[in-house]
Structure 1
Amino acid sequence: RPYWFHIEYLKSPKTVHLEAWLVEAIFGRGAEYIPHVECVSQTLLHVNQWDPEGEAEIFIFGRPDYQKDVSKMIMNLADYHRQLRAQRTELDQLEEFIQRAGLGPQQNLHPVA
């Protein structure tokens, strides 16, 4: 365990629940960014993800004020990734509408010489 982590921090982790797809969006494929987050925030993270389409549970171990900061960071990143997904969905729907309506790029019938 890291030198800054004390055993008593294991007694009361802060828990964050969010959609499972957000774990990869926030922490990278295979949770590759968790060690960096732990090092910078001086917390330890444990992710329980039962179903990729369901919910994930993240336990944050560390000093209470650090737990709070990391929890806020995770929730802010989750909101950001939800907004990105919603924007992509809207753009996909618009693109599909344009294709169905036959409103693709218009050719100029009178080219300028």
Structure 2
Amino acid sequence: MVVGAGVAGLYQLYRLREQGLNVRAIDAGAGVGGTWYWNRYPGARFDSESHIYQYLFSEELYKGWSWSEKFPGQPEIERWLNYIADRLDLRKDIQFGTIVKSAHFNEATQRWLVTTDRG
């Protein structure tokens, strides 16, 4: 399980699926983006140059997106994250509108028990 479908969450979901694992991401939002889904205030933008956030494991993915500026604003960042989710077919493994209420590790079974607001 991956908690969140932002920049890191999408990356983790992709990498874990690539390893052949059955994985699901949980996100409170109605769409991908994490911080960039929720923070829509005027002037919200990357605080580092956009190329730093690019996923470099796929040249096709990297070259398929052109940033409009070095420090793009929230609307463009959210569009990029949707582009990533679509190109990597990640949405099928993301449960949106769900909040993780608790997570407890069971030492005996070596498994996590995760409870959400949906049970």
Output the TM-score relative to the length of structure 1.
0.28
Higher alpha-carbon Rg: 1
The structure richer in helix per residue is 1
TM-score w.r.t. length of structure 2: 0.27
